[in-house]
Amino acid sequence: MHSQSAYEKNLSAVMRAFAISLGIATIGVMIGVYVPPSLFLPLAIIEVLMLIFAFFLRRKKAISYTFLYSFTFISGLTTFPIINYYVTAIGPQVILTAFIATTLIFAAIAIYATKTKKNFSFLGGFLAAALLALIIVAIINIFLPLNDTAMTIYSFIGILVFSGYVLFDFNRMKHYGIPSHAVPTMALNLYLDFINLFINILRLIGILKDRK
């Protein structure tokens, strides 16, 4: 009983840190308006380096709240050009549509993952391989841009992969518990699930709207 109450308490702490992370990222997006375009590439490189650092750091010890909120702020800044592109090309409505869709999908999977008795930890290896494939395709796309059909498929697979990560992360917390020191790390995982799910949904909606 005590472990269940500890799990619920730490899950609440994770969700609170996750919500704060989204708020800080939103502030980052708003401040992104004032960032000179030449700084976005260095910021994106810093973001990637912080991600790599977090990956190795969490194997030894948990990341701190300071690291979590610093990362999500920089992530917000680097997300601004993406959001600005779709607002300019299609209109602000597309951002709201993508955000609502992301929130509904995220919430539905989170509720299922925490209620089901099934253990989805077996998905870990498959999701990691799928994520690596997405990253490789994203790098190729920089040098050899994909056509609309390929980007539609890529975005749809991205939505499936990050939906899978939402399921995996919530389910793992339920089955293996949440140590207090791991709260910021878990919040970072959920933030990355949410923001990548949002970007893939936004891209898919953008492509479908362009075809009309």
Q: How many residues does the chain have?
A: 212
Q: What's the pLDDT score for residue 38?
A: 87
Render 96-118 in DSSP notation, one character per residue: HHHHHHHHHHHHHHHHHHHH---
DSSP 137: H
Q: What is the pTM of this model?
A: 0.91
Q: Are 71 and 190 in contact (CB under 8 A)?
A: no
For residue 212, the tally of other CB atoms under 10 A from its CB is: 4
What CA–CA distance (Å, rounded) separates 82 from 209? 16
**Tokens in use for 212?**
């009309």
Q: What's the pLDDT score for residue 1?
A: 42
pLDDT tens figures, 164-179? 999 999 999 999 888 8
pLDDT tens figures, 85-108? 999 988 899 999 999 999 999 999
pLDDT tens figures, 17-60? 999 999 999 999 999 999 888 887 888 888 777 777 766 665 55
What CA–CA distance (Å, rounded) separates 191 from 80? 16
Q: What's the pLDDT score for residue 103?
A: 98
Closest CA to 198 of 116, 106, 108: 106
Band of residue 141 on the pLDDT scale cut at 50, 70, 90? confident
Band of residue 142 on the pLDDT scale cut at 50, 70, 90? confident
Q: What's the pLDDT score for residue 58?
A: 56
Question: At 108, which amino acid appears?
Answer: A
